[in-house]
Amino acid sequence: MATAPAHTPLYDWHVAHGGKMVDFAGWAMPTHYTSIVQEHNATRGAVGITDISHMGRLRFEGPGAAVFLAEMLTRRVADLALGQIRYSLVTNDEGGILDDVLVGRYHNAHGQPYYVLVVNAGNRLKIVRWINDHLPPERATCPGNEIVFTDVSCLWAMFAIQGPRSVELLQPLVDVDLELLKYYRGAQVQILHPAAQRQGGIVSRTGYTGEDGFEFVLGAGIAPAVWETLLEIGRPLGAVPTGIACRDTLRLESGMPLYGHELTEQINPFQAGLGFACHLVGYDFPGRDALREIEKRPLDVVRIGLELAGRRVAREGAPILADGQEIGRVTSGTFSPTLEKVIAMGYVPPQWSEPGAELTVEIRGHHEPARVVPLPFYRRPTKGAKK
């Protein structure tokens, strides 16, 4: 018997405001409220607010937390500064990608460090099991090396506030100067809202859209009231609520891989172009030895970006052809509202991966001309640049 999808703290709001609800990674989530293109363009031009409470949040504390995370993740953890966030991977013993994650370091009320690991919604239970399998019971009680691991996903809500006016929108609700918060940095904040009653939260300058913006973690109980206030503050700024569908078009324009599409347990970090996220010397994590061997060998396939000449959208699984022969498959594709053309990502052998290479994509029996282009497809304008 199928399990009903879980609800975020904003489920009732989404339904009441016309969100088109779907089961996404085991959660009832809105794909859109108005149209995908409108919500996409609002994020690029002003600011979009997305409920991402379905994402997993895992907390690690205790004197052994940093060492344990260093044994689980492909990147360094021990040298994280207070408030620093790092993109990393969790790999299996063969070097395949179990998930891509963000890990950040914060301090509790007693000044002791704790770490927050943000994982993909569809991988949360898998990663929790993986952690528990690698966390022997004695690690919780060993003097000087204690670890307390807690899945706090359902206790917290999480909003993505993305776009060029995101600072203006969020600033009235937090007690830190957001202009001073650098990219891939986070801060513990007091939430300046009557419903918060001195509750704190976490704001990080991170996102999945290619725009400037923030991810805002707060208590589940106050999430609906804070969400309503954000929309009220944001209305004069052009802010709109956005669903997960435009989140996908935004990340694809920005060349960001999505787990289950560009990233799977059958793909290794070097194929995906994520070798920078693997520290293989001086660290020992599951898959480290396998990745050392993989790094020595020529790659069989690599991730590429494609621009298609026509208007047909290349969906996941569409064959990529060279000289009439299939050489790979599309992993994600969409019509880009910003670029006004069809774009896609996929995997092909390295000899077909150079920008400018002319390929074709088979879409419902039609062979559509395509050209390899550098990733990302879109970069946001720098401050002061003309749009």
What the block records as the tokens of 172 is 């009235």
258-302 confidence digits (pLDDT tens): 999 999 999 999 999 999 999 999 889 999 999 999 999 999 999
Tell me the residue range of the domain where 22 lies: 11-55+154-253
Looking at residues 49-70, what average pLDDT do you find? Answer: 96
Predicted confidence (pLDDT) at residue 89 exceeds the cutoff of 80? yes
Predicted confidence (pLDDT) at residue 385 exceeds the cutoff of 60? no
pLDDT of residue 387: 37
Give the three-state DSSP class for 136: coil
How far apart CA 217 and CA 204 sit, in angstroms, is 9
Predicted confidence (pLDDT) at residue 16 exceeds the cutoff of 60? yes
Tell me if 271 is assigned to some domain.
no
Of 2, 127, 68, 23, give the one whose Cα is nearest residue 11.
23
For residue 386, name the pLDDT band (cuts at 50, 70, 90). very low
Strands 47-51 and 239-242: parallel
Number of domains in the chain: 3
304-325 confidence digits (pLDDT tens): 999 999 999 999 999 999 999 9
Lowest-confidence range among 59-68, 85-94, 203-212, 333-342? 59-68
Same domain? 30 vs 80: no
Same domain? 74 vs 141: yes
Same domain? 48 vs 86: no
Tell me if 171 is assigned to some domain.
yes
Same domain? 113 vs 163: no
Domain harbouring 320, CATH code: 2.40.30.110
Same domain? 190 vs 229: yes
Same domain? 73 vs 136: yes
Same domain? 163 vs 30: yes
Tell me if 352 is assigned to some domain.
yes
- Can you spell out the DSSP letters for 41-55? HHHHHSEEEEE-TTS
Tell me if 277 is assigned to some domain.
no
Tell me if 28 is assigned to some domain.
yes
Same domain? 51 vs 164: yes
pLDDT of residue 138: 65
How far apart CA 380 and CA 211 sit, in angstroms, is 6
End residue of a domain, out of 151, 174, 203: 151
Tell me if 245 is assigned to some domain.
yes
Same domain? 44 vs 174: yes
Contact 90, 287 (CB under 8 A): no
Tell me if 265 is assigned to some domain.
no
End residue of a domain, out of 151, 181, 199: 151
114-144 confidence digits (pLDDT tens): 999 999 999 999 999 999 999 977 665 666 6
Same domain? 236 vs 161: yes
Domain harbouring 124, CATH code: 3.30.70.1400
What the block records as the tokens of 40 is 């996409």
Domain harbouring 210, CATH code: 3.30.1360.120
Q: What is the side-by-side order of every strand in the sheet holding 113-119?
A: 85-91, 97-107, 113-119, 56-61, 148-151
Same domain? 193 vs 323: no
Looking at residues 374-386, what average pLDDT do you find? Answer: 80
Same domain? 49 vs 160: yes
Tell me if 29 is assigned to some domain.
yes
Looking at residues 10-24, what average pLDDT do you find? Answer: 98
